[in-house]
Structure 1
């Protein structure tokens, strides 16, 4: 079922929290900070109502934040999307800069993993030979 088929579907804040993995508190924060691209509607009783489009957008926001995108950049990206067509080059620039940061983080983590894997191998080899005593022994 795509967005077009469910555009009129209205979701409670609890349902959106469940679908996105964000807490109700975080959803309110995202709204206060202007991170949503659509206006959150409210029932006559004041309860927030979201659409499937909001959920899709929030899932993107979650991935951008989990990958380390600064809040200011996410706000700028949301503002550009809210403005509509015509600023795609600016959006691309924001996303490309972030992708480059993520790529650098991945390279750094791969280097760390390589060192850890090497050290695991050293310990495993020494333990298998029964010669683990003295490995990084600060008292030696």
Structure 2
């Protein structure tokens, strides 16, 4: 799998709105991520107090989005961010955390594939009955 990266390599800082647009996170969610310590570096501020993000912040947030979308618990994401913030020396713990999450995702994918199989079978049953004109009373709880 290729490394996720922002489409621009500009060193120009980004506003919170621009980061929201690039990551799919709301402005509210970005503020939450910052409060919860989910970013690996401090968000810079203008003299007027407005947040200014870097391309690295966006890259990190894109990873966070995928980890959350895949069901990583917030506590695990916080721990992962903390480990990354602390720098080299804790890679084995990062690997354990990510591998445990991958195993949960794999199990969820397997469960969803089993669900899809049952649904596909049921779709086939209904399609067959409808094609033959024999759908009346198919699993009719009132019969």
TM superposition outliers: structure 1 runs of 4+ over 4 Å = none
- SS of the equivalent of 2:100 reads helix
Q: Give RMSD over aligned pairs.
A: 1.3
Number of residue equivalences: 138
- 1:80-117 Cα deviation digits (max 9, x unpaired): 00000111100000000000000000000000000000
Given candidates 108, 111, 114, the residue that maps to 1:111 is: 114
For residues 9-24 of structure 1, the aligned pairs below 5 Å read: 9-24=12-27
Change (3 A) 1:107 1:120: same
The residue aligned with 2:77 is: 74
Pairing 1:63–2:30 present: no
Deviation at 1:12, TM superposition (A): 0.2
Pairing 1:44–2:13 present: no
Change (3 A) 1:92 1:72: same
Deviation at 1:9, TM superposition (A): 2.0
Unaligned ranges ≥5, structure 1: none
Given candidates 84, 87, 91, the residue that maps to 1:84 is: 87
Unaligned ranges ≥5, structure 2: none
Deviation at 1:7, TM superposition (A): 6.3
2:36 and 2:10 map into 1 onto residues whose CA distance is 24
Deviation at 1:139, TM superposition (A): 1.4
Deviation at 1:134, TM superposition (A): 1.2
Higher helix residue share = 1
1:132 and 1:31 map into 2 onto residues whose CA distance is 55
- 1:16-36 Cα deviation digits (max 9, x unpaired): 000000000000000000000
